[in-house]
Structure 1
Amino acid sequence: MTQPTDPRRVLLRAALDAAERGWHVFPLRPGTKRPALHGEAACPRTGPCTAGHRKWEQRATTDPELIRATWARAPYNVGIATGPSALVVVDLDMPKDNSSSDTPDGATTFGALCERAGHPVPATYRTRTASGGEHLYFTTPTGVRLANTAGTIGKLVDTRAWGGYVVAAGSITPAGPYEAVGGPVAASLPAWLLSILKPAPKPAQTPSGPVTAQSRRYADVALANETRNVTGAQVGERATRLFRAARALGRFVAWGDLPRHVVEQALQGAGEAVGLTAAECRSTLRSALNWSIAHNQRGRKAA
């Protein structure tokens, strides 16, 4: 007669497998996606927190002995701290139950983005999530530090990097398991995707105070330069250049230096001139401008 599998042993193996890949793991509450480690308010200031509270990202580890000791206490699910693991994980989510029936899922949106960029969907280690979505794992270049994003790439497409974590394959929730379904290793983050995820460049000096003739001239020059960058794009980099141009110019819209419709009209024309469809341009511009405007609302001094 087959003996039932010990969940604690299965989850320990999942944690050790992730650690063997160099991924830093920490415990999640059994059956959930929430960290099992104490919060700052409940910190005893002992053990690893003797010198001050250490959050889950700081306590995530690849030490097999520490992992064995932790998972011996309970059948914890496994969290992977993406930043310390030098990972960027693209989270392709499923539409919510109350979404329109024709709402594309994250995988469809990401596939369309790859096609616009002139590249296939990257082959890499990936997992199927409990909700039916996917996590695509990529390694980050040395010296590159990326933050989490939510909707920057597209609807239902988020990323987890520094400050974020994902649930590892082998973990189980009431909604279902997390399962490895892709390649055996995490591929390097593609350069075209890195260019989208990198923060928009900021000017070396930005004037404070009310809009002046000088700041408007600066914005006009930036608009001309970014439009020229898009019209000079080669096949395979057109969508990326359009996205980056909109991200760079969105701050001038937020600051009142440029009307949004002027930016949209100039970049829409540039994108269509190099072969992107009108719909592709509108979708890219809407996403990039919305993000940039929202992140520059606090004004020039905070930008």
Structure 2
Amino acid sequence: MTQSPDNPRASLLDAALSAAERGWHVFPLRPDTKRPALHGEATCPRTGPCVSGHAKWEQRATLDPDRIRAAWSTDAFNVGIATGPSGLLVVDLDVPKDKGTSDAPDGATTFKALCERVGQPVPDTYRVRTASGGEHLYFTAPTGIRLANTAGSLGALVDTRAWGGYVVGSGSITAQGAYEVIAPIPVTELPAWLLVTLRAPAPSRPAPSIAPARNASRCAQVALERESAGVAAAVEGQREATLFKSARAMGRFVAWGDIPRHEVEEAFQVAGESAGLKPHECRSTLRSALDWSIRTARPREAA
């Protein structure tokens, strides 16, 4: 779907409603971006969908056309599709960041080679071209199996989105360009060989080498070692949440002056990348969690 330059809000509303009609749970993304437009836990009003506690974007994604119209009536939001609740697994075939000069194969080439190795054709299914020039291949996820996201485990620049993940829907537009359907055919079931590949146990990772904090109190050092170990051991689908929780737990020690912030960030960056998170994911999560925790930390005597 291509946006109307005269009324982008109406075009995006149509895109959101069309996705919901397919049974795909949608939520708004900030205009011209890929980031959720919903409030975070720190600013949650505890009303509406959050009356029983903060509801994240995956829980608040909806099929309700009235809720969709109400949300998209306020701004030209892009369309986020929560893959898990939608019963989808989307294979994200990315392109090298410096695609103009890099000799590295793109995700589509890597995925084609993977298909050839297992003696299968590249699956024919609903496809969306992303703003960066990559592709999203949509598949119906198998019932009774809760698949999580993957990042590079199938191959370089080949990620998957399932429970805990989302994709930008067609009709959305960012500074890089538009998301457009390039294969408007039915979504097919996830191939059995790909399901087996995704469910194969990940190779064990060596424990990360984390240098002791140089300027920390003993209590803060012990806490950092414990929290970092938990992050490094987090399983797929829980890694970012574990990092966020652990970073928030350490924020009070930073606020109290028991440990420098940069030492906490260095330790968690190592642990998060060891667990399989991308460097920018670690940095973004750490910044958000530590900023909130330091800002809201109670005095030591009141903790």
Same fold flag (TM > 0.5): yes
For 1:186 and 1:139, locate their aligned partners in 2 and report how far apart those are by CA, in whole Å: 6
1:5 Cα deviation (Å)?
2.8
Count of residues paired in the alignment: 207
Instruction: Determine whether 1:146 maps to 2:158.
Output: no
Superposition pairs for residues 101-116 of structure 1, below 5 Å?
101-116=102-117
CA contact (8 A) 1:148 1:158 kept: yes
Structure 2 partner of 1:289: none
Residue identity opposite 1:130 in structure 2: A
1:65 aligns with 2:66: yes
* Structure 1 residue ranges, 4+ long, deviating more than 2 angstroms after superposition: 98-101
Matches within 5 A, 1:84-163: 84-97=85-98, 101-163=102-164
Residue in 1 that maps onto 2:191: 190
Match of 1:22 in 2: 23
Q: Counterpart of 2:86 in structure 1: which amino acid?
A: S
Match of 2:33 in 1: 32
CA distance in 2, matches of 1:141, 1:132: 28
Q: Matched residues in 1 for 2:34 and 2:174: separation?
A: 8
CA distance in 1, matches of 2:65, 2:48: 18
Give the distance between the partners of 1:199 and 1:120, measured in 2 at CA. Answer: 20
State the SS of the aligned residue for 2:183: coil
Q: Give per-residue Cα distances to partners, 1:208-242, cap 9 Å, x unaligned.
A: xxxxxxxxxxxxxxxxxxxxxxxxxxxxxxxxxxx
Q: Secondary structure at the match of 1:181?
A: strand
Deviation at 1:101, TM superposition (A): 2.5
Please, which runs of 5 or more residues in structure 2 have no aligned partner?
208-273, 277-303
Q: Report the RMSD for the aligned CA atoms in angstroms.
A: 1.9
How far apart are residue 45 of structure 1 and its match? Answer: 0.6
User: Following the alignment from structure 1 to structure 2, what is the Cα–Cα distance between the partners of residues 149 and 99?
Assistant: 26
What is the CA-CA distance between 1:48 and the residue it aligns to? 1.1
TM-score scaled by length of structure 1: 0.65
Q: Which amino acid is the alignment partner of residue 48 of structure 2?
A: G
5 Å-filtered alignment, 1:45-84, equals: 45-84=46-85
**Structure 1 position 141, deviation (Å):** 1.0
Identity %: 68
TM (norm. structure 2) is: 0.65
- SS of structure 2 residue aligned to 1:195: helix
Q: In structure 2, give the amino acid aligned to 1:134.
A: E
**Partner-residue secondary structure (3-state), 1:107:** helix
Between the aligned partners of 2:5 and 2:98, the Cα distance in structure 1 is 34
Does structure 2 conserve the Cα–Cα contact (< 8 Å) formed by 1:123 and 1:183? Answer: no
Aligned partner of 2:43 in structure 1 is: 42
Shift of 1:37: 0.2
Q: Which has the larger radius of gyration?
A: 1
